[in-house]
């Protein structure tokens, strides 16, 4: 199979969409497929182009038998709604040229990852002219995330109707639409995609690498924590959509328990703001650490007594946080902010003990849930680990995905 991935994010980004694309493509290449990627220079979650890459030039290279074509884009240091639109538009414009330059590759499948929806028109035109199958994979509902978080401001009514109309029209023109949760697939159906065109393609965990057996004492000691300290860990992107001020406020509530340490690992557009809030509150129980290399992630997860998955209201079904898969694989205890009717809320109900689910943006509920998880965090959360083994195994998910694509293209 000749497979072309069209996505703004790719390895060596350590988190989010780039991480999953960077694992999927070499896996498909190892399975015997020809894989090309049209992407941008790595910039996420720091919102800064990584060293060794150029934001203003086209570059191509071969990595793990995958041919990677990087295209110029604008990366704002502090993304606002307008700057984010310019950022996405700049990639859509430059990458469309690169996409059509791969005409002779004759891809069987063009796999477009949302975000960004801005790339969809060029991808659909290419597939129509080239005869390729068009697959849209939704990691984040871009329009829902923007409007659900109020990023469009007072004009959201008109902008919302326009954006949803365009989104629906585009989505219905793909041969397949996949997403990472059943609730997100249901949302695609509500947006007009026929049920027979939907495909479940969840994010995965490397359950053989991220395991409960990993020893986290090395990182705990290196970061200056005692064995008796109870570590509350948030690890991942720090952006506006998470509502991470909640963690700082909770740390203030727990200030009278000096053995409870709040550790925030990662980077993003909001990290400096969070640091300023913590400094203003003079909280010695809050520490910030940079993103860790992938080989250190299992030990970092093992170090924590309780993990945090934090989002604002309205975001939980627009974005299913990828960080949760590794927490479950590690057998971690977690507090997750999500409404009961969302995918995360239903998962907590169906698999009692997998994590504590609390109302988003509710400090009292969050602190109560945190106290519950601190009390039960002794050893391994086997409910979480068993769920990961049965539902999140990387090889099983990718093998099933590849088989569906082979069926779609008639190569099976």
Where do the domains of the chain lie? 2-204+393-409, 217-390
Calculate the CA 121 to chain-centre distance.
Answer: 23
In contact, 341 and 181? CB cutoff 8 Å:
no
Distance separating alpha carbons of residues 194 and 188, to the nearest angstrom: 9
- CATH number for the region 217-390 comes to 3.40.50.2000
Beta strand 66-70 with 59-63 is: antiparallel
pLDDT of residue 154: 46
Distance separating alpha carbons of residues 70 and 38, to the nearest angstrom: 6
Distance separating alpha carbons of residues 200 and 178, to the nearest angstrom: 6
Fold of 2-204+393-409: Rossmann fold (3.40.50)
Q: How many helices (H) and strands (E) does the chain have?
A: 15, 14
Distance separating alpha carbons of residues 140 and 184, to the nearest angstrom: 9
Distance separating alpha carbons of residues 88 and 104, to the nearest angstrom: 26
Tokens 């307008």 correspond to 82
2-204+393-409 and 217-390 in the same fold: yes
Print pLDDT tens along the chain (412 aa).
999 999 999 999 988 899 999 999 999 999 999 999 999 999 998 899 999 999 999 999 999 999 999 999 999 988 888 899 999 999 999 999 999 999 999 999 999 999 999 999 999 999 999 999 999 999 988 888 777 655 444 446 777 788 899 999 999 999 999 999 888 899 999 999 999 999 999 999 999 999 999 999 999 999 999 999 999 999 998 987 789 999 999 999 999 999 999 999 998 888 999 999 999 999 999 999 999 999 999 999 999 999 999 988 876 665 667 789 999 999 999 999 999 988 899 999 999 999 999 999 999 999 999 999 999 998 999 999 999 999 999 999 999 999 999 999 998 7
DSSP code at position 291: P
| Helix boundaries (H) for 31-181 | 81-101, 120-130, 142-148, 156-171
The token duo for 32 is 């015997």
Distance separating alpha carbons of residues 173 and 96, to the nearest angstrom: 18
pLDDT of residue 156: 60
pLDDT of residue 209: 95
């Amino acid at each position: 199979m000749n497979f072309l991935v069209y996505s703004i994010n790719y390895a060596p980004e350590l988190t989010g969409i780039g991480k999953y694309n960077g694992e999927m493509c070499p896996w498909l290449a190892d399975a015997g497929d020809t894989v090309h990627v049209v992407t941008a220079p790595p910039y996420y979650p720091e919102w800064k182009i990584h060293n060794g890459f150029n934001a203003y030039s086209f570059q191509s290279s071969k990595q793990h038998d995958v041919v990677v074509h990087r295209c110029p884009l604008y990366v704002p240091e502090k993304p606002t709604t307008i700057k984010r639109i310019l950022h996405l538009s700049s990639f859509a414009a430059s990458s469309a040229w690169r996409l059509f330059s791969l005409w002779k590759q004759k891809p069987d499948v063009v796999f477009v990852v949302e975000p960004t929806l801005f790339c969809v028109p060029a991808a659909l035109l290419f597939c129509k002219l080239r005869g390729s199958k068009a697959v849209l994979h939704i990691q984040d509902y871009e329009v829902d995330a923007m409007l659900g978080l109020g990023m469009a401001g007072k004009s959201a009514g008109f902008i919302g109707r326009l954006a949803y109309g365009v989104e629906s029209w585009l989505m219905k023109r793909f041969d397949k639409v996949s997403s990472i949760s059943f609730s997100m697939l249901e949302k695609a159906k509500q947006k007009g995609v026929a049920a027979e065109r939907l495909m479940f393609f969840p994010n995965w965990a490397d359950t053989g690498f991220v395991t409960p057996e990993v020893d986290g004492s090395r990182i705990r000691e290196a970061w200056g924590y005692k064995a008796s300290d109870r570590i509350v860990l948030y690890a991942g992107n720090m952006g506006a959509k998470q509502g991470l001020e909640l963690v700082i406020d909770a740390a203030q509530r727990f200030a009278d328990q000096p053995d409870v340490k709040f550790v925030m690992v990662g980077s993003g557009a909001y990290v400096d703001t969070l640091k300023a809030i913590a400094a203003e509150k003079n909280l010695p129980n809050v520490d910030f650490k940079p993103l860790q290399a992938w080989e250190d992630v299992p030990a970092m997860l093992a170090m924590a007594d309780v993990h945090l998955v934090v989002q604002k209201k309205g975001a939980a079904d627009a974005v299913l946080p990828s960080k949760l898969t590794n927490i479950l694989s590690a057998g971690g205890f977690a507090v997750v902010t999500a409404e009961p009717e969302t995918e995360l809320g239903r998962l907590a109900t169906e698999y009692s003990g997998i994590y504590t689910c609390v109302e988003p943006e509710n400090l009292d509920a969050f602190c109560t849930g945190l106290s519950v998880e601190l009390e039960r965090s002794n050893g391994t959360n086997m409910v979480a680990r068993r769920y990961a083994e049965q539902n999140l195994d990387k090889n099983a998910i990718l093998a099933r995905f590849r088989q569906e694509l082979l069926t779609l293209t008639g190569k099976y």
